[in-house]
Structure 1
Amino acid sequence: MQLGFVINDMSTEQENYTTIRLARTAVNRGHRVALVGLGGFIYDANDTVRAHAHVPAASHYESDAELLAELQGEQASTERISIEELDVLMLRSDPADEVEERPWAPTSGLLFAHLAALRGVIVLNDPTHLAHASNKTYFQHFPEEVRPATCITMDRDEIKSFINAQGGHGVIKPLQGSGGQGVFVVNPESASNLNQMIDAVIRDGYAIVQEYLPRAADGDLRLLTLNGRPLMVDGTCACIRRYNESGDARSNISAGGKYELVTPDADALRLAGIVAPKLMRDGMYLAGLDIVGDKMMEINVDTPGGLNMIEDLSGLPFSAHIIADLERKVRLRDHYKRSLTNTELAMM
C-alpha cells in the first residue's frame, strides 16, 4: 500500500503527534509512506497531481523520535511523487495553525485532496465534507441534545447577554482554533475582565460562547472513533481523560493538561452513538470526541490526536488496527474496480 499524509509542514511536526505514529506503523508494516506539506502540491502540465514529499528512507523505525529525526534532519530531502499513485491520502493538517500566516493553505490542501479523490485515491477524512467542518460551526449540525447551549457572534453585547443568561458563567473561545488556544472560562468573579476576554477572542474573528459545564472541573474525555464508532482493540476503547491540576481550566494536552487511560462511561457511549450517523454520512473516518459529562464540547475531524498516548498507556496496537483497516479499504476499492465513492469507502 502507498499511503500519504497531508501535514501543515514537516518543520512543525512533533514526535508525539498521531500522524508520526501512524506513519511509523505503516512503514514497519511494509508500506511506502509519504508526508506532504500544505505548500507541497503541484498540478502538473500533463494534468497529473503531484507533490514534493518527505519519504522515509528506512524500512523499520524503533521509535517515533527516530522517524521524525530523519525527516527533519539536515540530510532530509523531498521526492517529487505522483499523488494519483497513492492508495490512501490521510488529511492530517490543522487549519487553525494556518489562520495568521498562511490562510490560503487549508483551502488549497482540500482542493488538491478533491482532485486526488476524483482520480481514485481514498482520501480520509472525506474532503467534500471536511471543507464544511473547518471550524466549530460543524458541531452545531449535530443533535441539540449532545451540545451545550451555544452562541456564535462577534457582537460584544450578545456575548454579555448570553453570559448573563447563564448566571455569569460561560466559556468563550475562537470559532476557529484548537489545542485550547484563546479559551476563557467566565464566572462571576472574573466578570471585571470580561471585556478583555471578549476582545482577545473576537479580534481574530467570530467567538463561540458556550454554557459552562461544572463537570469540566474534573477534565474531559477524548474518545477516538473509527468508521463512526468508538475505536476499540481487544475490548479496550481508545479513550483518555484529560485534566489539569494547575488551576488552568483547559484540559488540552497542548495546554499543559495531564491524561490517563479510562473506560468511557454510559454517557460517553450514548453520545458517541448519537453522533455516529452524521460522522458516517460525512465520511469522517477518524474523529476525536471531546466529552464532559453528558454533553459533547467539540468534535475534532481535522487532526484528532491522542492515539500515541492511548497506545503507550494501554500497550495495545491501535495504530496497527487503523493501518490494517486502511489495507482493507484498499482491497474493497480494488474488488469493486473503483466504482465505490470516496465517502462510501471512508466508512466501510
Structure 2
Amino acid sequence: MRIAFFVNSIESETPGYTTTALALAAIQRGHSVVYVEPGDFILRPDDSLAVSVAVLPDAPYKTSDKLHAALKDAAKQKKTFAASDIDILFLRNDPSLDATDRPWAANAGVMFGRLAAERGVIVVNDPDGLAQAQSKLYLQTFPEAVRPSTLISRSIAEIRAFIDKHPKGCIVKPLQGSGGKNVFHIATATDSNLNQIFEAASGDGYLIAQVYIPEAKAGDVRLFLMNGLPLMRDGNYAAFRRVPAKGDVRSNIHAAGTARKVKVTDTMLRIAEMVRPKLVSDGMFLVGLDIVGDRLLEINVFTPGGLIRLADMYKTDFAIHVIVALEDKLTLRRAYGQAMPNSRLATL
C-alpha cells in the first residue's frame, strides 16, 4: 500500500518523532511512504484531487536517522500523484503550531482530508472527528466522571472566582495550544502573579482553568489507544509516565519532562473504556490519553508522540502494530468499497 503522512513541515520533522517511527515500520513491511505538507494539495477544475509529495526511496532503512536523512533529500524534488494513488492518508500535523504564523495551514489537513476521504482514500484520524477536536474544548464532550472540574473563560474575574473555590489551586492554560506552552499552577486567587499570567496565557485566546490534582507532582501518564482500545503488543501497554522537571508543573517531554516506565492500572483502563465509545464514533484511530490520578487531563488526537521512546523502554515496536492495523483497514476498504464510511472504517 502507499501511505501518506501529513505533517506541519518536513523541515521540522526529527528522527525521534512518532511519525518517523511509523514511516520506518511501514517501509520495513514493504509499503511505499510519502510525506505531505499543508500547501501540497491540488483540487483541479474537473474536481480531481492531486497532491505533491516527497517520496521516500525504497531502501532497507535500519534506523530512523537513516530514514530521516532520506526524507530531507526527497523533499528537494517532490512528485505529483492523484489522490487515487494513495491508499492511506495519516493526518499527523499539530494545528496549533500553524495557528499564528500560517493560519491557512492549520485546517488544511482537515479540509483536504475530507476531500480525500470522499474520493476513497482511507483518512486517519477521521477529518470530521478532528474538526471537532481542534481545541482542548473537545475534552468537555466526554463524561464528567473522567474530567477534572474545569472553567473556560476570558474573564479574569471568573477565573479568580473559580480558583477561590479550590483550595488546592488550579492549572491555567490556553484553550488552544500544545507542548506545555503557557501552562501555570495558580495556588490561590490572590496570587500576585495572576494578572501577568493571565496576560501571557490569554494572548492565545480563551483560557482553561482546571482544578489542580496533587498526583500531578509525579507527572501524568500517556496511554495510547488504537481503534478505541489500549494499544498493546507482546504483553506490554503503549504507556509511559511523563515526569515534570523539578519546580515545573508541565510533564511535556518538550518542556524538559522525562519519560519512565509505568504500570497501567485498572483506573487507567476504566478511563480508557469510558472514553472509547465517543472516540470510536468520532473515527479516532490513534490517540494519546493524558491521565493524572483518576482524571483525564487531555486527549491528543492530532500528534500523540512517544512510540520511539516506548520501543526503547519496553523493547517492543508498537509502530509495527499500528501499520498492521492500517493494512487490515485497506483489506476492508477493498472488500466493501465506499459502502463503509471513513469514520467507521477508521476505528475498525
Name the TM tier (shorter chain): over 0.9
Query: What is the 5 A alignment of 1:301-340?
Result: 301-340=301-340
Stretch of structure 1 that moved more, 323-332 or 160-169: 160-169
Give 2:179's aligned residue.
179
Aligned partners of 2:133 and 2:301 also within 8 Å: yes
In 1, the alpha carbon distance for the partners of 2:241 and 2:256 equals 14
In 2, the alpha carbon distance for the partners of 1:279 and 1:131 equals 13
The code of the aligned residue for 2:254 comes to: S
Deviation at 1:245, TM superposition (A): 3.6
Question: SS of 1:338's equivalent?
Answer: helix
Query: What is the 5 A alignment of 1:223-242?
Result: 223-242=223-242
Runs of 4+ in 1 over 6 A off after TM superposition: none
Give 1:71's aligned residue.
71
TM-score (norm 2): 0.97
CA displacement, residues 121-144 of structure 1 (integer Å, 9 cap, x when unaligned):
110001011101010011000000
CA displacement, residues 38-57 of structure 1 (integer Å, 9 cap, x when unaligned):
11111123322112211111
In 2, the alpha carbon distance for the partners of 1:161 and 1:75 equals 51
CA displacement, residues 271-315 of structure 1 (integer Å, 9 cap, x when unaligned):
011001110111101000000010010001011111111112111
The code of the aligned residue for 1:122 comes to: I
Give 2:142's aligned residue.
142
Aligned partners of 2:32 and 2:58 also within 8 Å: no
Stretch of structure 1 that moved more, 301-310 or 68-77: 68-77
- The root-mean-square deviation of aligned C-alpha atoms, in Å, is 1.5
In 1, the alpha carbon distance for the partners of 2:3 and 2:262 equals 31
Deviation at 1:76, TM superposition (A): 3.3
Stretch of structure 1 that moved more, 1-10 or 49-58: 49-58
TM-score (norm 1): 0.97
Aligned partners of 1:70 and 1:76 also within 8 Å: no
Give 1:97's aligned residue.
97
Stretch of structure 1 that moved more, 43-52 or 114-123: 43-52
Give 2:345's aligned residue.
345
Deviation at 1:170, TM superposition (A): 0.5
Aligned partners of 2:163 and 2:188 also within 8 Å: no
Question: SS of 1:51's equivalent?
Answer: strand
The code of the aligned residue for 1:135 comes to: S
Give 1:23's aligned residue.
23
**How many equivalent residue pairs?**
348
Deviation at 1:73, TM superposition (A): 3.9
Aligned partners of 1:6 and 1:35 also within 8 Å: yes
**Structure 2 vs 1, CA of residues 298 and 74 (structure 1 numbering), >3 Å: closer, same or farther?**
closer
Query: What is the 5 A alignment of 1:256-335?
Result: 256-335=256-335
Deviation at 1:77, TM superposition (A): 1.9
**How much identity, in percent, do the aligned residues show?**
44
Question: SS of 1:62's equivalent?
Answer: coil
In 1, the alpha carbon distance for the partners of 2:265 and 2:190 equals 32
Give 2:88's aligned residue.
88
In 1, the alpha carbon distance for the partners of 2:61 and 2:76 equals 16
**Structure 2 vs 1, CA of residues 75 and 218 (structure 1 numbering), >3 Å: closer, same or farther?**
closer
Aligned partners of 1:30 and 1:59 also within 8 Å: no
CA displacement, residues 143-186 of structure 1 (integer Å, 9 cap, x when unaligned):
00100000001111111111111126100111011111111111
Deviation at 1:190, TM superposition (A): 8.2
Deviation at 1:189, TM superposition (A): 10
The code of the aligned residue for 1:335 comes to: A
In 2, the alpha carbon distance for the partners of 1:67 and 1:234 equals 25
Could you tell me which runs of 5 or more consecutive residues in structure 1 were left unpaired when the two chains were aligned: none
Give 2:62's aligned residue.
62
CA displacement, residues 1-50 of structure 1 (integer Å, 9 cap, x when unaligned):
11011100111111111111101111111101111011111112332211
Aligned partners of 1:25 and 1:323 also within 8 Å: yes
In 2, the alpha carbon distance for the partners of 1:74 and 1:278 equals 38
Give 2:32's aligned residue.
32
The code of the aligned residue for 1:235 comes to: G
Deviation at 1:94, TM superposition (A): 0.1
Question: SS of 2:132's equivalent?
Answer: coil
CA displacement, residues 234-253 of structure 1 (integer Å, 9 cap, x when unaligned):
22100000102422111110
In 1, the alpha carbon distance for the partners of 2:260 and 2:119 equals 42
In 2, the alpha carbon distance for the partners of 1:264 and 1:74 equals 40
Give 1:253's aligned residue.
253
In 2, the alpha carbon distance for the partners of 1:14 and 1:94 equals 14
Deviation at 1:101, TM superposition (A): 0.3
Give 2:124's aligned residue.
124
Aligned partners of 1:168 and 1:191 also within 8 Å: no
In 2, the alpha carbon distance for the partners of 1:74 and 1:4 equals 14
Give 1:213's aligned residue.
213
Question: SS of 2:287's equivalent?
Answer: strand
Question: SS of 2:337's equivalent?
Answer: coil
